[in-house]
């Protein structure tokens, strides 16, 4: 599985847009990029998954440049409830295989 690098922590304020970038220089041709969110005392929760360009759902957007060596998770207008750890994962159709979680990015949203 491709190794991922993301910031250890980020701070933001309510109402701001938050962008978390993940580097995955060794991504393979058929690897997907998946982001999970984990609140304290809960299991990780799937946020979004993509292969290239841009993917958007009701929670977030995922931007993937043409070379796919990085990806950016964008959270629009964050609220206090978005305070969590965000994990970037890269692999072949991750749902069917074991996930390798890195250290994640701890996002702290302030009022």
The site for other proteins (CB under 8 A) is made up of 34, 41-46, 49, 87, 93-104
At closest approach, how far in Å is the CB of 87 from other proteins?
8
Dist. CA 109–CA 111, nearest whole Å:
7
- Retrieve residue 90's tokens: 């890269």
Kindly tell me the sign of the dihedral angle through the C-alpha atoms of 23, 69, 48, 17: positive
Nearer to other proteins, 87 or 90 (CB): 87
**CB of 12 or CB of 49, closer to other proteins:** 49
How far apart are CB 31 and other proteins at their closest, in Å? 13
Q: 86 - beta bridge partners?
A: 37, 105
Residue 58 vs 67, nearer CB to other proteins? 58
CA distances from 90 to 4, 29, 58, 77 (A): 7, 11, 22, 26
User: Shortest approach of other proteins to residue 108 CB, angstroms?
Assistant: 17
- Work out how close the CB of 15 gets to other proteins at its nearest, in angstroms, rounded to a whole number: 28
Residue 63 or residue 101: which is nearer to other proteins going by CB?
A: 101
Q: Which residues contact 95 (CB under 8 A, 6 or more apart)?
A: none
């Amino acid at each position: 599985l491709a190794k991922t690098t993301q910031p250890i922590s980020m701070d933001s304020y309510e109402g701001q847009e938050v962008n978390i970038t993940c580097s995955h220089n060794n991504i393979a041709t058929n690897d997907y990029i998946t982001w999970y969110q984990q609140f304290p005392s809960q299991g990780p929760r799937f946020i979004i998954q993509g292969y290239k360009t841009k993917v958007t759902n009701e929670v977030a957007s995922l931007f993937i440049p043409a070379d796919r060596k990085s990806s950016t998770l964008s959270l629009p207008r964050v609220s206090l409830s978005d305070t969590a750890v965000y994990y970037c994962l890269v692999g072949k159709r991750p749902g069917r295989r074991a996930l390798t979680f890195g250290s994640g990015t701890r996002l702290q949203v302030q009022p």
